[in-house]
Each structure stands twice: as structure tokens, then as C-alpha cells.
């Protein structure tokens, strides 16, 4: 029996194609994750989140699901996943997997039936419409670029896809679809999966009249670009909150299951966030990710208030704080190692669950891809290819970084000799060493998981401060957002528990922080 979600302090995201290849095909697999379970345990993580490993033609690397209840052969089989679950649970590590409820692959049996004719019982499981004078039904644009509609010559209608044409949208207005997706959740929960990260949840409800999205007045470019519109009709439709409630209610059927919705703070905050907010307050086993740290905005005051706003919105539900994920450039590439180290330090001292993307604990960076390596159908620029942040985990300094014995599916970063687990394990000044110490503290100090968090006025615009409190204990966190040393006069004297740098000291009520330095203080 693993610890309850309320006691989980950290979640480690694994992109399975890139964690560890054990069967020698250059692609990571489930047995490779199982092989590295001791590493995860030694690192100190309480839970792992595994990106999709379901049966898929891999046009979107698993987010185009062809069978929700099976494992793609490239990753292994259901028995391999059951073994992974057993090994994780034996180490008191929970397992969260992805749920992709908005769309399926065009090779899913449901869509194959739906496409076979207008009279097929599965036709209404997807969104099919007649054209508009020979054109798409409306102006909706997919996240992959281009129209969200593809014409099917055999049936003479268009089908809707918010992503790639190989990812047709499910019709959540059909109650049979909602029941089928809930049964998918039950299938994995009954097997022993502990939680679901819900992908692209915004797409489950759309304007039933399929009205055109409004033009974005601030955009000046291709009309088929995603940014050309405000997206006020293609998502977050009138039944969005109702369907969220229905999906989240599956967790209520079980003792200790968790559901975390994908949510980005720039998605029309206010009324949209309020819908998430209202749902998660009814369902304590559901919440939404805090993804503000994915931004390049390096500003202490803004970061502080963003954190406080999220905590207020989360209320009594478990907050999940993230630095990055498989869809975002790596934090070290965005901000540089010193700033990413400071942000990692802060993230691992926040309440609830601190989320870490694989490789971020050693400072992995995006890889420059060639046209040969480019495999992401969502972008036309190599610079924007999401796979730059999905490259093989750097376990050691060998040719393929200990990920595989053959050429990997994506190139290994050229910095593998300096940035790898084996090297940083031996270096007390490394980012990996710091992350391990912080994760150890999350186990030792309940205040870090359960304590309140209050923003402090540090009297220095470059230094962000927080007070953590629980049962009479008080800790204070200070992060220097400047590249030069800064001084903070402390309201109370404190003892250094841990810092980003080993030489940070407190002299009476004076704290000297080096550039991009951070410290956790025990206040007496």
C-alpha cells in the first residue's frame, strides 16, 4: 500500500520513449522504466507520471490513441506495465498515466466504424458536418496549424480535429462517448494505476452551433495560424464544467485516486479558471497543474503573486507545481542553469506536489535537431520542434548516454559528458545533488508539503520571499532574481537549512544572497 495522495510531495514525469531503452530498438520502453525504479526511489520522488504508452500509430507519439486499454508493442505489453506498477508500489511510488479524452487516432476502432458510413452507430461518436459551399464548416484552426476540418471523400462530410488530421475529436455531447471514456479510467484504476493526468481537457465541450472563432485583433499573420483567433467557440463550450464534473466523479468511486487537468494560466483566466475552480472544489481528488513557470518571464514579484493566486484557487485541493513538461522547452534552455537552479529550488519548497520533468534534475537542455531528426508534425520550424525537449535521458557520458546500446530515436545532447546522472551523483555542488537534498527534506519536514505559504515583503525588489507555517513551526524562503549579490534584512533571525550555494550564511538579521541564490531558513 503506497502513501495517500495527500502525503505525496513530488511527481516525476517520464517521457517513455526517452527514459531507457531495454529491448535494443533505440526507443525507451516500460521495462526500461522498471529497470530505473531504484534511481527514482533514491532520488526521493513519491510518484511518477508516464506519458502515453498506449497502442498508437505514433503520428503524435502516443497522444493519437488507437486502443485506450492496451500497450503499444514499442513499449512492451500489459504484463510489462503490471510489473512496472508492482515495482513502483513496492518502493512506495505512485503511478500516474495520461488520459487523452478529447480525441483518438484515426486508426481507433471507434473512428474506423464512424468513418464507414453516415448511418453507422458510431458516426455520432465524432464530430461530422457538411461543408459550407465547398469549404470547411467554419474557420476553426487546429493547434497543428491549418483548418480543424478534414474532408472525407467517401462520406462527403468533414470531420473535426483540434490537433493533427490523424487525431479526430470525440463528440463529448454524446453520452455514450462520456461513458466509454469513464470506463477507460476505471480499467486502469482497477489495474492499480493511482492517478490520471488529463490531456487537452479544454476540447471536450465546444459551441454546439459551431460558430466561427473571433479574429485576434493583435495577430498579424497567416489566417490559418492558431494565434489568428481568440478560440471563443472551439473550446471551453457550454457543457465544459458539466463534463469535467462527470469525469472527475470517477475518482469518487475509489479510495485514493487523483486526477490532474492540463491547464495553462493564459487560457482566458477568470471565467474559464472559475469553471475548473468550481469543479475541483466539489471533487477533492481532482485539481489542475500550475504551469506558469513555463514562461520566460523572469521577475520575482510576478512569480510570487502567480504562486499565491494559484494557491488561493486550489483551496483545499492538492496543488501541483510544474517547471516544464514534454511540450515546453526545457527550463535550463529557457533560463540558463543558474536561474533554472533557483527556480527548481523554489519549486521543491512549494506546498503540495512539486512536479519534475525527467532530466531537469541534472539540468538537461534542448537539443538542436536536424531536418532528419524532425518528427513533430505540429511545427514547421526546427526551433519550435517539441522533440528538442524529449531527447534521451543522460545517465552517463557514453556515446548514447547510457540510454541505449544502439542509435536512439533522437540524438543525445553533445553535453552528455558534463551533464549526466553518474557524474552529478558524485558532485555535491551539482543540481542533482541539490534536488536529492530538497526531496529528502520534503520527506523529513511535513511543513513543506502541508504548511501554509505566505508571500513576504523583503524590502528588496530583486528578492522573492515566502513564509511557510505549520503547527507553530516557521520556515522562510528567499530567492534572488538578480545576477548580482543582494542583501535582505530579516524580520526574525534564522538558521540556514539548505541553500542553492553551500556558503550562504545569515549574520544576525542580515542575509546575503549571491546572484540567483536561494535559501531555506528555520525561524526560531
DSSP labels for 19-44? T---SSSSS--HHHHHHTHHHHHHHT
Q: Which residues are annotated as catalytic?
A: 199, 262
What nine digits make up the cell of 517? Answer: 541564490
Residue in the structure block whose three cell numbers are 486502443:
67
User: Residue 256 in 3-state DSSP?
Assistant: coil
Classify residue 163 by its DSSP letter. Answer: S
Q: Which residues touch 217 (CB under 8 Å, ≥6 apart)?
A: none
The pair phi, psi for residue 356, each rounded to 5°, is -125, 130
Instruction: Name the CA radius of gyration of the chain, rounded.
Output: 23
In sequence order, what are the residues at sequence separation of 6 or more whose Cβ sits closer than 8 angstroms to the Cβ of residue 32?
Answer: 16, 19, 20, 21, 22
- CA count, 13 A, side-chain hemisphere, 515: 6
Helices (H) and strands (E) in the chain, counts: 13, 21
C-alpha cell read off for 46: 513519491
- Phi and psi at residue 337, to the nearest 5°: -65, -45
- Residue 238 CA to residue 236 CA, distance in Å, equals 7
Contact yes or no for 184/68 (Cβ under 8 A): yes
CA distances (Å), origin 476, targets 100, 123, 307, 464: 39, 58, 15, 11
Element (H, E) at 181: helix 175-191
Identify the DSSP state of 170: B
3-state secondary structure of 457: coil
Torsional sign, CA 226, 228, 233, 236: positive
Q: Where are the alpha helices (DSSP H) in 10-154?
A: 30-35, 37-43, 78-90, 109-115
CA-CA distances (angstroms) from residue 256 to 11, 21, 58, 311, 496? 16, 32, 32, 22, 36
| Structure-derived torsion over alpha carbons of residues 418, 424, 426, 429, reported in degrees to the nearest 10 | 100
Amino acid at each position: 500500500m503506497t502513501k495517500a495522495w495527500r502525503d505525496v510531495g513530488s511527481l516525476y514525469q517520464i517521457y517513455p520513449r526517452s527514459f531507457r531503452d531495454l529491448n535494443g530498438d533505440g526507443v525507451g520502453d516500460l521495462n526500461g522504466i522498471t529497470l530505473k525504479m531504484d534511481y527514482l526511489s533514491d532520488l526521493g520522488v513519491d510518484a511518477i507520471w508516464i506519458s502515453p504508452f498506449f497502442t498508437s500509430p505514433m503520428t503524435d507519439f502516443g497522444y493519437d490513441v488507437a486502443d485506450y486499454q492496451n500497450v503499444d508493442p514499442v513499449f512492451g505489453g500489459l504484463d510489462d506495465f503490471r510489473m512496472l506498477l508492482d515495482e513502483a508500489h513496492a518502493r512506495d511510488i505512485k503511478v500516474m498515466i495520461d488520459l487523452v479524452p478529447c480525441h483518438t487516432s484515426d486508426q481507433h476502432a471507434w473512428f474506423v466504424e464512424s468513418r464507414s458510413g453516415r448511418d453507422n452507430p458510431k458516426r455520432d461518436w465524432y464530430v461530422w458536418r457538411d461543408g459550407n459551399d465547398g469549404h470547411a464548416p467554419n474557420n476553426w484552426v487546429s493547434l497543428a496549424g491549418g483548418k480543424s476540418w478534414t474532408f472525407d471523400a467517401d462520406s462527403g462530410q468533414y470531420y473535426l480535429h483540434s490537433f493533427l488530421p490523424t487525431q479526430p475529436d470525440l463528440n463529448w455531447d454524446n453520452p455514450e462517448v462520456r461513458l466509454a471514456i469513464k470506463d477507460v479510467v476505471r480499467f486502469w484504476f482497477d489495474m492499480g494505476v493511482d492517478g490520471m493526468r488529463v490531456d487537452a481537457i479544454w476540447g471536450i465541450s465546444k459551441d454546439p452551433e459551431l460558430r466561427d472563432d473571433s479574429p485576434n485583433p493583435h495577430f498579424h499573420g497567416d489566417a490559418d495560424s492558431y494565434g489568428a483567433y481568440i478560440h471563443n467557440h472551439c473550446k471551453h463550450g457550454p457543457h465544459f464544467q458539466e463534463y469535467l464534473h462527470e469525469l472527475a466523479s470517477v475518482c469518487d468511486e475509489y479510495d485514493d485516486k487523483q486526477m490532474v487537468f492540463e491547464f495553462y494560466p493564459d487560457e482566458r483566466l477568470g471565467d474559464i479558471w472559475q469553471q475548473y475552480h468550481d469543479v475541483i472544489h466539489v471533487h477533492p481528488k481532482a485539481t489542475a497543474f500550475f504551469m506558469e513557470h513555463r514562461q520566460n518571464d523572469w521577475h520575482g514579484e510576478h512569480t510570487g503573486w502567480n504562486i499565491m493566486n494559484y494557491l488561493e484557487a486550489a483551496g483545499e485541493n492538492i496543488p501541483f507545481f510544474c517547471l516544464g513538461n514534454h511540450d515546453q522547452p526545457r527550463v535550463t534552455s529557457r533560463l540558463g542553469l543558474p536561474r533554472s537552479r533557483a527556480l527548481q529550488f523554489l519549486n521543491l519548497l512549494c506546498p503540495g506536489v512539486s512536479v519534475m520533468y525527467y532530466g531537469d534534475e541534472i539540468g538537461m537542455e534542448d537539443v538542436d535537431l536536424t531536418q532528419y531528426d524532425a518528427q513533430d508534425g505540429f511545427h514547421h520550424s526546427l526551433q519550435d520542434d517539441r522533440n528538442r525537449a524529449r531527447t534521451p535521458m543522460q545517465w552517463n557520458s557514453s556515446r548514447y548516454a547510457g540510454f541505449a546500446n544502439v542509435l536512439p530515436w533522437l540524438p543525445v545532447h553533445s553535453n552528455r559528458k558534463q551533464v549526466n546522472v553518474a557524474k552529478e551523483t558524485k558532485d555535491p555542488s551539482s543540481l542533482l545533488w541539490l534536488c536529492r537534498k530538497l526531496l529528502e527534506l520534503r520527506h523529513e519536514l511535513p511543513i513543506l508539503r502541508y504548511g501554509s505559504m505566505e508571500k513576504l515583503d523583503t524590502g528588496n525588489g530583486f528578492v522573492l520571499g515566502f513564509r511557510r507555517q505549520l503547527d507553530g513551526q516557521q520556515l522562510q524562503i528567499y530567492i534572488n532574481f538578480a545576477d548580482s549579490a543582494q542583501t535582505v534584512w530579516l524580520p526574525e533571525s534564522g538558521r540556514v537549512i539548505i541553500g542553492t550555494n553551500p556558503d550562504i550564511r545569515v549574520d544576525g538579521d542580515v542575509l546575503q544572497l549571491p546572484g540567483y541564490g536561494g535559501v531555506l531558513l528555520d525561524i526560531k
